[in-house]
Chain A
Amino acid sequence: MFLISSATALLAWSPIFVSSAQAPQQPGSAITTPPYQTIPAPAPQRTGLNIVVLDPAHGGTDPGARGAQGIRESDLVLDLTVQVRRALEAQGFQVLQTRSGNENPSFDDRSTLVNAQRGAVFVTLHISSTGLPGTARVYTAPESAGTVPTGGVLSWDHAQTPYAALSRKFGDAVQGQLAQRFKGSPNNAQIAAIRQLRTTGAPAIAVEICSVSVQDRGDLDRMMPGVADSIARGLAAFRPSYVLPGEAGSHP
């Protein structure tokens, strides 16, 4: 019983579950004037960006990229997450993590955490196998060729679709910061069909640092504070643009 009521509450709360009963009445529909004084309906409120879900990729039996010096991506991204978390909390964001130890939640489990939040963005953190060491890249999901549902229930498999434009803006803001700190990094976010981003119903980016192929792990450790600060600054710059699809004045 508790589980069912919890699930119902979750469905009612989540931004992507809009029932037809909650849909606004269309002008011209048959509504009679009530014989009592009405209180004007409150204007739809914009959802503020409050929560950041950080996703240290891989973990458990999946070490991710591995370097010749025994560097494991799954370990490094946990350290990076701690630093990003600190930088974001200093800016007043509430931070959630998809894992904080050596677990390996599924792609869907990680998406579930962010899809159940309102006013959230998602950042998945990676270290690459290849690429120019000392650079960092931001990726966002492609803006799909398909149609975006305008109401009702959004498919889990394409939860990112309505957020793709916002994600791009968020990605560009963070990539701009990274380009200033790490020479050789591109100026704009790249597009890649990343599995984790597809089922994420929120503005979402992947940040990938190059690379586990460095001879000394210290090279990557030294990048982390700069990457964390860039993400926090990029998010602060993106914050005013955060208007969820379907909300008043939305323009993703």
Chain B
Amino acid sequence: MNGNWRTWVLIGLGFAVVIAAIYFPVLRRRVKTAAKIPQPSEEQARRELTQAVAQSPSDPVVKAKLFWISNEDESALAPVSIELALSKDPVLRAKQVLNTLLAGPVDSDLRTLPPDAALLAFYLLPDKTAVADFSEALATSTPSGIQSEQMAIDSIARTLEANVPQVKRLKILIHGQELDTLAGHVDLTQIFVVDSKSAPRGAITLDLPTRLALPPAAAALNPNAVKESQR
């Protein structure tokens, strides 16, 4: 009885080893395949949720102009005409063109905005100032540099100018917050002029709360100046 029991245990163990030896390569192959499938990042998942802009079948198909990096000059932007169904509502229309701009051109080297950036919200104020709220990736993934940051802002402003004439000025927020700079250089505390006919592009308005032109240390020693700056 004792001898039979041992034999059966040994046979069972041997069988398990054979099964494992057969199954292990299969398992390894499946793990490798799974690793190759890109997992959506938090940013991409958010983008999928936020980019769903309702498109009505009645939206007319028009030739939209989107501004990406020029094929011929990597330091300049060039318009690309794309047929898009665009809403007549300026807010929906702006969302549609900005999402297409974010999706990027066919040649990904010509894109101006990072692939994982998303438009979270877009508002149009009565004074024709647009507020575009982008995900953090716009700030964290735009290459740091005056040229790259300015081209990112210009591509947004010029695309809006070309397709949404109701927008005259643009304020950019990152995840609902005002940042000092986009990626260390271009000033995001300002409002960008979108309408290049009314002002040179890149000009900014002066409707911000002001601080006096005192060096911070001097301002701290001058109580009147501090009061003035808080008005």
User: Contact residues of A with B, CB < 8 Å?
Assistant: 3-4, 7, 10-11, 16-17, 57-58, 62, 64-66, 73, 107-109, 112, 115-116, 126-132, 135, 137, 139, 142-147, 153-159, 161, 190-196, 198, 201, 206, 208, 210-211
Residue from the list A16, A144, A192 in contact with B186, Cβ < 8 A: A192
Decide if B200 is an interface residue (CB 8 Å cutoff): yes
Report the minimal beta-carbon distance from B80 to chain A, rounded to whole angstroms.
Answer: 19
Which of B's residues lie within 8 Å of A, judged by CB?
Answer: 74-75, 143-148, 150, 153, 180-181, 184-187, 189-190, 192-193, 199-219, 221-222, 225, 228-229
Please determine whether B203 and A144 come into contact, CB atoms closer than 8 angstroms. Answer: yes
Is the beta-carbon distance between B146 and A194 smaller than 8 angstroms? yes
Most A CB within 10 A of own CB, among B148, B189, B218 = B218
CB distance from A46 to the nearest CB of B (A): 21
User: In the bound complex, how far is the Cα of B187 from the Cα of A195, in angstroms?
Assistant: 4
Closest to A192 in B: B150
Bound-state CA distance A200–B2 (Å) is: 94
A58 to chain B, nearest CB (A): 7
Q: How far is the CB of A6 from chain B (nearest CB, A)?
A: 9
Q: Judge whether A143 and B212 touch: CB under 8 Å.
A: no
In the complex the two chains form, what is the Cα distance from A118 to B229 in whole Å? 23
* Contact between chains at A73 and B228 (CB < 8 Å): no
- Bound-state Cα–Cα, A107 to B187, Å: 11
Pair A65/B203 contact, Cβ less than 8 Å: no
Please pick, from B143, B199, B207, B214, the residue contacting A130 in the complex, using a CB distance under 8 A: B143
Q: List 21 A-B contacts (CB under 8 A).
A: A3-B221, A11-B218, A57-B184, A66-B144, A112-B215, A131-B74, A131-B147, A132-B75, A145-B193, A145-B203, A145-B206, A146-B207, A153-B212, A156-B214, A192-B150, A192-B185, A193-B153, A193-B187, A193-B202, A195-B189, A206-B185
Known: A11-B214, A130-B147, A191-B200. A144 touches B206 (CB 8 A): yes
> Could you say which of A142, A157, A208 contacts B202, with CB atoms under 8 Å apart?
A142
B154 nearest CB neighbor, chain A only: A192
Besides A137-B147, A146-B206, 6 more A-B contacts (Cβ < 8 Å) are A115-B213, A144-B203, A144-B206, A155-B210, A192-B146, A195-B185
Main SS class of interface, B = loop
Chain A residue nearest to B225 (CB atoms) is A153
Contacts of B208 in A (CB 8 A): 157
List 8 A-B pairs, minimum CB-CB distance, nearest first: A146-B206, A129-B143, A155-B210, A128-B145, A112-B215, A195-B187, A156-B211, A129-B145
CA distance A117 to B210 in the complex (A): 22
What separation, in Å, do the CA atoms of A95 and B147 have in the docked complex?
A: 27
Cα–Cα, bound, A147→B74 (Å): 35
Given known A-B contacts A132-B75, A192-B150, A198-B187, A116 and B215 have beta carbons under 8 A apart? yes
Tell me, in angstroms, the Cα distance from A159 to B208 when the chains sit together. Answer: 13
Nearest chain B CB to A65 CB, angstrom units: 5
Q: Give the distance in Å from the alpha carbon of A13 to the alpha carbon of B146 in the complex.
A: 33
In the complex the two chains form, is A112's CB within 8 Å of B147's CB? no
Among B181, B202, B217, point to the contact of A191 (Cβ < 8 A).
B202
CB of B146 within 8 A of CB of A108, answer no
Cβ-defined contact, A126 with B214, below 8 A: no
Nearest residue, chain A, Cβ from B179: A195
Please give, as numbers and ranges, the residues of chain A lying within 8 Å of B192 by CB-CB distance: 193
Q: Is the CB of B75 within 8 A of A158?
A: no
B221 & A4 in contact (Cβ 8 Å cutoff): yes
A64 touches which one: B180, B184, B217 (CB < 8 A)?
B184
Cβ–Cβ contact B200 & A142, under 8 A:
yes
Chain A residues near B144 (CB, 8 Å)?
64-66, 73, 129
- CB neighbours of A210 from chain B (8 A): 147
